[in-house]
Amino acid sequence: MSRSSASRAARLLNLPRTECREALAAMSERQQHAVRHYWGLWAHEGQLPPEGDWLAWLILAGRGFGKTRAGAEWVRARAEADPEARIALVGASLGEVRSVMVEGESGLLAIAPHGKKPKFEPSKRQLQWPGGGRAMLYSAGEAESLRGPQHSHAWCDEIAKWDNSGGKAVAAWDNLLLGLRLGSRPQVVATTTPRAVPLLLRLIDHPAVEITRGRTEDNRKNLPPRYLAAMRREFGKSALGRQELDGELLQDVEGALWTRALLEQCRESAAASPPVRVVIGVDPPASSGGDACGIVVCALGEDGLARVLADCSVEKASPEKWARAVATAAAKWRADRVVAEANQGGEMVAAVLRAADISLPLKLVHARHGKTARAEPVAALYETGRVRHAGLFPVLEDQLCGLMAGGGYEGPGRSPDRADAAVWALTELVLGRSGVPRVWVS
């Protein structure tokens, strides 16, 4: 579309809705098609590439900001403008590259104008544009697959989700950059919701990286109002809301027993070893209208490592409801033991759990030390590589990162109920009776 056509299109959008419809109806089919696919007209400011000679453009924003559309449109522009373009599409897995970056609602196939749609060859992991530009699909989990190929451009999606175990995410990025040597101006776009992973922290401090930050609400014109209202009502200014909606990179609390970088080092996409024992930790609430009931599933693998498998915690639940949630988790995960803190209403805790499932393998524990003192030896297990997280557990991890060395809690909510449940389970699994704190069974 020419600059004059773009200017006319921009004026068109500023008309009242009825007049805009009439003007669009008066256009030829070709003109309507051009207007629909002129990205510079429809994009909000945060979706357009920055000026300057940058190596990487990092879009660090909340969900629904339009990161995927921005990345796809940038790739489309490169592929259509340069017949020699060789573009790497890199995601957390090949499945996500295909389902989100290529075939998704904002992916490369969906945004392409008629007549300019690339040909997708799944068996070759390749997209071919009519003009000659090509894009190849890669998984960040297979860092070695990026070692040999050369590219002129790259789009890396959700880099904070890439597998960080064994330095895989950083290795994938480094291999990509080492092969980014075609053309006169190689560039890469990275789109992600923020998490304090090593690769993201490195890019933020890199002098050749331009950063666009944004919130979900920046794209409100393209999002249902009910969705925005529901997300704000559900998450508000919680740590999860600040990260997932406001695109804020949450920083560590100085003096905390856990850091986000430590948790990322301990993360697996799924449990890498079959369990030989499963324990569920339970931190019952003092009342049904108060804190959540922490219910965390942990396992000891055949490789000798402990893993957090699931966070089944429930909010503001009656004793009967949280007891049923415990029983359901125990049945689903085939738990060998349920360890429940019984400092407050020990007999009541046992009674409601037994009522939910009489055969529940229950062990009641009474804490003789505070939550932080109980957590310190478990934090040491993480630091020595003896615990893994099989997946992402945002609320639980926020609570772990709020437990302070020497006492105190500076995380979300009034109490680290999920963190405490995890501590009980991991203590039972790894530290046993020799661990700290000592417990006695009622």
Domain boundary residue among 218, 234, 250? 234
Residue 136 lies in a domain: yes
Domain assignment of residue 400, given as a range: 260-434
Domain count, the chain: 2
Residue 1 lies in a domain: no
Closest of 309, 297, 310, 377 to residue 338, by C-alpha: 297
Residue 20 lies in a domain: no
Quote the CA–CA distance of 218 and 45 in Å, as a whole number: 9
Count the Cβ atoms, other than its own, within 10 Å of residue 153: 25
Is the whole-model pTM more than 0.75?
A: no
Do 299 and 279 form a contact (C-beta atoms < 8 A)?
Answer: yes
CATH number, domain of 424, equals: 3.30.420.240
Cis ω on the peptide bond leading into residue 118 (within 30° of 0)? no
264 and 119, same domain (yes or no): no
Report residue 22: phi and psi, to 5°. Answer: -65, -40
228 and 300, same domain (yes or no): no
274 and 404, same domain (yes or no): yes
Residue 375 lies in a domain: yes
Domain boundary residue among 197, 217, 234? 234
- Residue identified by tokens 């669009």 is 24
200 and 292, same domain (yes or no): no
CATH number, domain of 88, equals: 3.40.50.300
82 and 158, same domain (yes or no): yes
Q: 86-91 and 119-121 as β-strands: parallel, antiparallel, unpaired?
A: unpaired
Structural tokens at position 138 = 């890669």
Residue 254 lies in a domain: no
Closest of 111, 117, 113 to residue 130, by C-alpha: 117
146 and 276, same domain (yes or no): no
98 and 207, same domain (yes or no): yes
230 and 265, same domain (yes or no): no
- The predicted pLDDT at position 439 comes to 38
Domain boundary residue among 185, 217, 234? 234
- The predicted pLDDT at position 436 comes to 37
- The predicted pLDDT at position 220 comes to 85
Residues 6+ apart with CB under 8 A from 188: 55, 56, 57, 153, 154, 155, 156, 176, 177, 180
- The predicted pLDDT at position 250 comes to 75
125 and 270, same domain (yes or no): no
Residues 6+ apart with CB under 8 A from 142: 172
- Residue identified by tokens 């904002």 is 106
Residue 185 lies in a domain: yes
Residue 242 lies in a domain: no
Do 189 and 154 form a contact (C-beta atoms < 8 A)?
Answer: yes
In 307-414, alpha helices (H) = 319-333, 346-356, 371-383, 394-400
Report residue 127: phi and psi, to 5°. Answer: -115, 135
227 and 308, same domain (yes or no): no
229 and 116, same domain (yes or no): yes
What kind and span of H or E run contains 234?
helix 225-235
Q: What is the pLDDT along the chain (442 residues), one digit of tens a residue?
A: 434 444 555 566 566 767 766 777 777 776 666 666 678 777 888 999 999 899 999 999 999 999 999 999 999 999 999 999 999 999 999 999 999 999 999 999 999 988 889 999 999 999 999 999 999 999 999 999 999 899 999 999 999 889 877 788 999 999 999 999 999 999 999 999 988 788 998 999 999 999 999 999 888 888 888 888 888 887 776 667 787 888 888 777 788 999 988 988 898 889 999 999 999 999 988 765 667 899 999 999 999 999 999 999 998 888 889 889 999 999 999 999 999 887 665 567 778 887 877 778 888 887 776 777 889 999 999 999 999 999 989 889 989 998 988 778 887 778 899 999 999 999 999 987 543 333 334 3
- The predicted pLDDT at position 13 comes to 59
- For residue 264, count CB atoms less than 10 angstroms from its CB and return exposed for 0-12, middle for 13-18, buried for 19 or more: buried
111 and 146, same domain (yes or no): yes
Quote the CA–CA distance of 162 and 202 in Å, as a whole number: 14
Count the Cβ atoms, other than its own, within 10 Å of residue 317: 19
Residue 25 lies in a domain: no
